[in-house]
Structures are given as structure tokens and as C-alpha cells.
Chain A
Amino acid sequence: MSAADTIKVYHSAERYEKNPATREPRWVKYTILSMALGFFGLFLLLPLFAVFTEALRKGFSVYVAAITHPDTLSAIRLTLLASFIALPLNIVFGVAAAWCISKFNFRGKQLLITLIDLPFSVSPVVAGLMYVLVFGIHGWFGSWLADHGIKVIFAVPSIILATTFVTFPFVARELIPLMEAQGTDAEEAAISLGATGWQTFWHVTLPNIKWGLLYGAILCNARAMGEFGAVSVVSGHLRGQTTTLPLHVEILYNEYQFAAAFAVASLLALLALVTLALKLYAERHLS
């Protein structure tokens, strides 16, 4: 939606509200409003509030101690590592896939689009299990990997693999409709003016998709840092070694360390808030 459209919608909403001929009765208005706000408070605001109060229930020092605990720091490091590897990979894959799908016609295009959606349609637990079946001790490549002393499952590589898999569609999904809507005119113009394929991508295509790309990357990153299911299956839950932040929250919670669990959870909640802010920023530029 363009800025002009936004203004139009705003104005029409305001106009309906001010015009007695289109205004709903007061009781209807307040009933609907309070339902919406009630839902918002109960299901979104309250849990968020609960995370922070529970985290700080036993005092600030406990909160700080939980966050600075070596296991927590290790989980933060692993989470950052996984997303820092998964994100660039998926940006490259996503842009390449979207470029292919939106700018060219080829056989099996529909199949490729369906495959891109696979990580969304399959349960994350199944995704994790697939990696165990392929790389696990009893999996296809398990014995070969063991012979060469490479550990994938229950180690960092599998966490990165699972994270990359689960977050694959975000960038591509965001870019395909955008690039399809933009068509190929600008690219054709660039080529007819003598630009090479790379120059065309760098100077023409990329500037046109940059906000969509940022938007996709933000969502991809949020999911990469928050992924639980797939990572849980392949991680092995080795404390301080193969636990990411969400896994670490679960471990602490299962050990009845509620304050610590909520303290670590509050980090993820903060991350969510930052993501939302960035997303808003990107959306504003996207329109």
C-alpha cells in the first residue's frame, strides 16, 4: 500500500466516523473496541508483561546473574552464530530463487515454488528429524561422517543446518511477489543500455527490492533466533554446548529455575520488540 493510499484510507475512516449518516451507535462502537482491546491485552500484552515481571520477581541481581551465567552466555553465542550463518545464506538463496522465479520462465518453476514453501508446510520437528535420519549415527551418511571424525548431529553444525532450513522461505517468499509485480522492464532497459547481468542486478534490481529484502531478512532473523522445534530434535541439549536461547529457556524452566528461565525469555522478548520496530521501519519504506 502506498503512502497516498494510507492517507486515503485514514481519511475515509475519519470521514465515516465524523458523518452521522455512517456512524455506528455508541454501544456498538464501544463493544467492538473493548473486545479488540481486551483480546489484545489478554493474549499479547499480558504475557509480555508476565515475562518481564517473572524475570524480575526475585530482584535485579538474580536477573543479571541468570543472564551472565556461562551457560546463558554460551546459548546467546550459539544463537547468534546460528542466525549469523543462516541469515546471509538465506538472503543469498532467497534472492537467487526469487530472481529465477520472477524474471525467467522455465520448466519446473511451479515445483520450485512449492519446494521453497516446504519448510513452512512441514512441522519443524519433522525437519529436525530429517537431519537426524540423514546425518545421525544410524543415518545415511552417519557412518561415513563418524569415520572421518565429523560430528553433525548433537553438535553445532546440525543446529545451523536446521535453522537455515526452517528459515529458508522468508526472504524468497517476501521477494517473489514484489519482483513479479515489478516485472522485467527495468532489467531489459538496463541490458539494452549495455549493462552486464551483474551490473543490472546491483544497480537496478537490488535497489528496487532493498526494503522488501530487509523486511524478509528481519523476519528470517527473528525466526532463526527463536526456532525451537527443529533445533530441539538435533541439538542433544548439551548444556553450554548445543543449547540455543529457546532451548536454554526450556531447560531452566524444567529445572524449576523460573526466575532464570523468564530472565532468559525476556531477552527473546526484547529481541521480538526490536524486530517489530525494525519491521515497522522497513514496512514504511516498502510502501
Chain B
Amino acid sequence: MSITVKNIYKRFSNFNALNDVSLEFPTGKLVALLGPSGCGKTTLLRIIAGLEQADRGEIWLEGVNASKLHVRERQIGFMFQHYALFQHMNVFDNIAFGLRMKPRHQRSSESVIVKRVNELLELVQLANLAQRYPAQLSGGQRQRIALARALAINPRVLLLDEPFGALDAQVRKDLRRWLRQLHDELHITSIFVTHDQEEALEVADQIVLMHKGQVEQMGSPLEVFTQPATPFAYNFLGTVNRFEGTWQQGHLHSAGDGVHLPHQTLPAGIAEGDSVIAFARPHEVRVVPSCEQLAPHGIKAKIARILAFGPTARIELVRTHEHSSQPEYYEANIPTHEIQQLQLYEGQAVKVQPTRLQVFAA
């Protein structure tokens, strides 16, 4: 089922949680709402569910305006961050809750409910825990029960608020994979909120990147990661090297250093002499010894540390220039064998040469 969010505004006393957010969530996809804490992602999720009321704007479900529809009529499965399981009910009763609360004329017979709950327990692979109470379950088990409970009412949409937030690292990884598989089986339109970029990149079909109550970018994980639309998107997703300076004759000039890129075209909207911010991922950066003839350009830096464990080595660098109040750090990923070829060592003066730059107006 499709979800459309139109011009949503939400203000909490003196803080703009959502500022003109419009989105279209495709049917049957798993979408991540990604952003730093306080960016409005959970608020948006709660507004879609109806647990929060938007100041302005509309929520459309399946082409029907649902903005005024009561939560219980929206038929949305909502999984809470801390699962909100009913502590006084066992696992079976928790899952059966939504089925048993239906109005009498819609309610299935108890035998049908039992069958449905057992199916769901099979689905989340916890059939042997039906008689346990939430307090007797591990975090991962609780999460799966919460999911089964939300699925029991045959929701049109599944909304998950930080589904992995309360779990430890190992369980998190397993459950991510499991959730992805489950979604591939059920194909129910799902939105989950996360602040963990890795999680979003790994699990989601689509990522909505949010910042300060606005949508920064929406796209597939690959798009969002390789073609970040804004400086914020660049900074937020993955490790990135950031260069500030001015744009002159196809060069980035940064405090006395120049970066020359032969194939770099002038980015749209940037004129000669403008201040710019440029980004390069660690694998888009070369490290060249300073003395080498091949390095007439680049950012002067010093190697702080070389971490050569796997096939790819990580080099941490500190920029060296006179009039800097704050140290600037860079990171480069290069094949480990190149370290020997270039004879790089810690403390060496080098030049950092981006091979590709994404340039934004400052």
C-alpha cells in the first residue's frame, strides 16, 4: 500500500520538528528514515501512525486522505522502540491482543485466533515461547514478539521505530538480516526509523535522509551513498574528507594548497572564485610523498597513523599548514601493497590528492 505525506509541519513549543515534509513511500518497499537524533524522523513516523497530530499537512494512505482517521482505524502496525509489550500478558496473549479487541461482529472465533497466533509464532520462529512473559525474554525475542503482535492485525503498513536501537551489536546484525528476509517474504510496505547509517544502507530498499525537520535526500542506498545531494548527506553517510576553499580555474584552492583535477567539470551553480566545500571518500584519495616530482599539487599533510591489517590499509593524516587554528584530519584507504611501494611511514610529510571531488557551494 502506498503512503503519501504532503506538506507536513509539526512544532513542539519552541522547536520545529518537521518543516514542510512531503514524501511518497512506494508500495511493498522497506524504507529507512535516516537522520541524526532530533531530525524529526520519529515524529514523522508517529504522525503517519496517527499517534501524533501534524499542525499542517496531510497523510494519504492508499490514495485516501487519512489525516483525520483515528489511530485504531488506520490499521497500521506500529513497533515501538522499547517494544511496549504488555508485561502482564504472556507472549500468546500479547500477539492475540489485536485480534481479540476487534468489535464483536468482526472478531474471529477463538479457534481461528489460536491458529493465527500460532502461525505468527512460527513466522517469528518463537513457537516454543508462547507461554512465557515478556520479562522472561531476551531483547531480540521481545522485538520479534512485538513484530508478530503488530502483524497480527494484518496491517496495511508496518512502521518500526528504531527497531534495533535497544539491542546489542551481535543480535542487531542477526536481526537486521532476519528483518530483511521477513520483508522479502511478506512484501508489506514498511518504514523504519534509524540513526545508524550502516543499518539503513544494509536493510532498506530506499533511504530518506532527514535533517532538521526536512528531507535532505531520498534514493536507493547506492544513490544516497555514492551521489549525496547535499553537504549534510555527504557528512552523515560514511567517512568523508572535507576540503574548504575557493574555486579558481578548475582548481580547488585551500589555504595555499591547490587541488587539481584534470577531469573535474565546473559544478552547476558555482562560479569562478566562489567559496566551496568539497568532499572525497577515503577510497577517492591518494597519498603521495611530498618530495615526489609527481606531486606538484595536493593538500600538504603528515601521516599520523597507518593501520595496515587487511588488504586495504587505512591512513590517518593531519593537515600541515601554518595559519590553521584547528587541526584538520583526513582519512585515506589504499591497497596495503601500495604502502610498501610508496614507502609511506608514520610521521612522513605527504600530499593528499583527491581523485574525485564532489563540490558544493559553501
User: Which residues of A approach B to under 8 Å, CB–CB?
Assistant: 185-186, 188-196, 199, 203-204, 207-208
Q: A189 CA to B150 CA in the complex, in Å? A: 9
* B243 at interface by CB-CB < 8 Å: no
Closest to B80 in A: A185
* B72 at interface by CB-CB < 8 Å: yes
* Residue pair B77, A199 in contact (C-beta under 8 Å): no
- Give the chain B neighbours of A189 by CB distance below 8 A: 78, 80, 84-86, 149
Most buried by A among B71, B72, B85: B72
* Residue pair A195, B97 in contact (C-beta under 8 Å): yes
Chain B contact residues, majority secondary structure: loop
Q: A186 CA to B63 CA in the complex, in Å? A: 30
Closest CB in chain B relative to A229 CB, distance in Å: 40
* B153 at interface by CB-CB < 8 Å: yes
Count B-side interface residues using an 8 Å CB cutoff.
Answer: 24
Q: A146 CA to B78 CA in the complex, in Å? A: 60
Closest CB in chain A relative to B54 CB, distance in Å: 17
* Residue pair A196, B82 in contact (C-beta under 8 Å): no
* Residue pair A190, B82 in contact (C-beta under 8 Å): no
* Residue pair A186, B86 in contact (C-beta under 8 Å): yes
Closest to B149 in A: A193
- Give the chain A neighbours of B71 by CB distance below 8 A: 188, 191-192
* B51 at interface by CB-CB < 8 Å: yes
Contact with A along B149-161 (1 / 0, CB 8 A): 1101100000000
Q: A195 CA to B149 CA in the complex, in Å? A: 13
* Residue pair A186, B98 in contact (C-beta under 8 Å): no
* Residue pair A196, B72 in contact (C-beta under 8 Å): yes
* Residue pair B101, A207 in contact (C-beta under 8 Å): no
Q: A186 CA to B94 CA in the complex, in Å? A: 11
- Give the chain B neighbours of A199 by CB distance below 8 A: 101
User: In the complex where A189-B78, A203-B101 touch, is A194 in contact with B86 (Cβ < 8 A)?
Assistant: no
Q: A192 CA to B150 CA in the complex, in Å? A: 9
Closest CB in chain B relative to A5 CB, distance in Å: 15
Contact with A along B136-160 (1 / 0, CB 8 A): 0000000000000110110000000
